[in-house]
Structure 1
Amino acid sequence: MFAFSDLSMTLQARLSDFFQEHIYPNEHHYREQLNQAENRFAPLPLMDELKQRARAAGLWNLFVPKSHAQYSETGGLSNLDYAPLAEQMGRVLWSPEVFNCNAPDTGNMEVLMKYATDAQRKQWLTPLLNGEIRSSYAMTEPQVASSDATNIELQIRREGDEWVLNGRKWFITGAMYERTRILIVMGKSDPHNRDRHKQQTQVLVPKDTPGITLVRPLTTLGYDDAPIGHAEIRFHDVRVPAENVLLGEGRGFEIAQGRLGPGRIHHCMRLIGAAQRALEETCRRVESRTTFGRKLSQHQSVREDIARSFAEIQMARLLVLDTCRKMDEVGAREARDMIAASKISVPKMVQEILDRCMQMHGAGGLTEDYFMAEAFNYARWCRQADGPDQVHQMALGKQIIGQYAE
């Protein structure tokens, strides 16, 4: 059984109360502000108001791990202790930003905590932790299969005391957001290095640097994920100072591996919250509707779908918690088997649960009247984000075969 710390239990209760008082009652208001905005990628007044309330309630930067406790007002949480908090945030897709716990900023802040210089942290990490600015992580490219990170082609060339960037990126989350100020960009600085994992470098690029063009916002299944959004970006002779390099030349792949592990499990945590809420709302729905002289809840097929969904949510939650436990005990690198297992299983399972719940809501389940269609989109793109299912299946399969073949 998994036991949460007293701090985690206190924060869980406080967060649940905050949702009841401030998040659920504002879901319609949030959508209204977004739809009426002149620019869909501008900050919403409601979000800024809720951020102030969350910080005052001590519900801020909850994602910060114990290893970097100096950056947390709570002293940092273990992965296990954070899991139920992230699950709660997953019940309303836009809510993580209220608590400064949204992707891609959490992953980017961890990158800066782990790999940045003191000067880089002062310039970028501090305002990110304060929620004053937002950030993006630019890795995926349209012209190559970016699931193999060694394929990326954006050129990072050293010229004197500057780095010069040329290339394209796409599906860069947060790049459309007006408040985003910094991009962490991965490209090839040494394409002929015999070690293909040392060809890459990551550099910090302010979003307003000359030569950066936001080509277009991108959608996933029709959703633009505003105001954070996703973008296609062009870099043309973009110049940044040499000191903007992260960790060192040729260490970009290393940073990417260190960044993506925790981010993958955070997505899984939030998806469980989305599935749990969908199940709860569906149970209320099937009790309130009647077909063929009986409540929907009395039909055998409905009961079977509810039962199957309940069991799958429990399985997914236990898998994620066990993954968190292992990450806390041995670190993300040594827990990569469990992270991969979660990444492979949870988004697909949640996608199927949401599909059933949408079906039991009739045509309304496909609309914005309910949260499930957008949550389905989130689950579906999580099967691509941070590496597609197939890559994790290959890596995990190889690891498991090696373990038992010995």
Structure 2
Amino acid sequence: MSRPAPARRRRWLRSTRLQDAALALAVIVPEAFFFGAPVTPGADTRSRLELVAFCLPEFLALLYRRRWTVPAFAVVWTVAVSADLVTAITDFEFTPYFGMLVALYTVARQRGRAAALAALAFALVPAGLAIRYTVEHLASPGHRTAALIAGIAFYLPVTAAAWGIGVWSRAVAEAAARDRRELARARRAVAHERTRIARELHDIVANAVAVMVMQAEATRSTACVQPARTDASLARIEEVGRAAMAELRRLLRLLRTAESSLEQDEQRDEQRETEPDTARRGLADLATLLEDVRRAGVAVDLEVSGTPAHLDDSLDLTAYRLLQEAVTNVTKHAGPGSRAVVRIDWSEVLRLEVVDDGAGRSRRSAARGLSTGHGLLGLAERVALFGGELSAAPYRSGFRVTATLPLTPVSPSSTHTGEER
């Protein structure tokens, strides 16, 4: 469907080409009347054609000055100098300079300081020729000094003003561009921080709450037949809840702080030094995690092969979070009565795998209520940061999550994830 006529008209009026054409005419027409004698009454046709011959290339140069800044300046400068020289040696009178001011402004606005200074120096040549012509040919012998002073007082200030406005406009545009880049960088930093906090909320708080709910459900179902285990289960639920609340308070402080990003980083480092364990989990804490899963009614076995290697804190935390998310998903989705196997294979890479048989007594509505829907997405982001790979997909009657993490730092690579669970 064609664009409505008013919209096409507005678009045409806003076009830069039309604006440049209007500016070129607004410069050349007054220039021809102010600096040129051929437009005066009594001028012959030859003089008028010569005037058009000078004005036409200047018009075209000003029309395309945005696209070809330096060539346009060169054309305008050549027209001005040529007209001044022809005027000095013939009876033709035309000493144009308004177009020179526009071309000078454009170079100062769009090019660097070196090009702007060179253009300023070149612009003084036609200005000097115009002043010389005025003093030698238009001023009477007794008024040549006054004409020289008047010429300098006219040409130098307007030239300096055109050049200065161009340089100032460039500086303003560069400052605005820097501000936009800084704003975009700040927005990216905020988005990154929000994503990181959301990931930590899911990895720590949401998983802790899910474990608490499943353990409470298991305790309620066995309270009558195994009353001795009730106190231990409730104590563990209380412990997990307190840890989740401590981590939640830490994340809320990160959200509420109004300090600079550097100060935020320093505060986080100090908090990590003074606040223990909740943020410094690793594979060494896997036994406690699996015990919580067993208390929730899931039989889980751990199989380790190979020789364990030393892991950086961040990689160790990523491996722990991956297994935490996977076994928590087993608790939520497969439910009590299911069986899972956690495999850790130490070789050239660290291979992690969690497989369940899906044979539990999961209530799907409850599982959906405990799921945030962003677990595997967060895991994929974590794994990708270390150049690893993640896959998650149904396996036989259950589900399998597999990840490989390089033991040496590599550049991040693409990550393949299965369906969200």
State the TM-score, normalized to the length of structure 1: 0.25
User: Which one has the bigger helix percentage?
Assistant: 2
Higher RCO structure, 1 or 2 (CA under 8 Å, sep 6+): 1
Q: TM-score, normalised by structure 2?
A: 0.25
- Going by fraction, where is strand more abundant, 1 or 2? 1
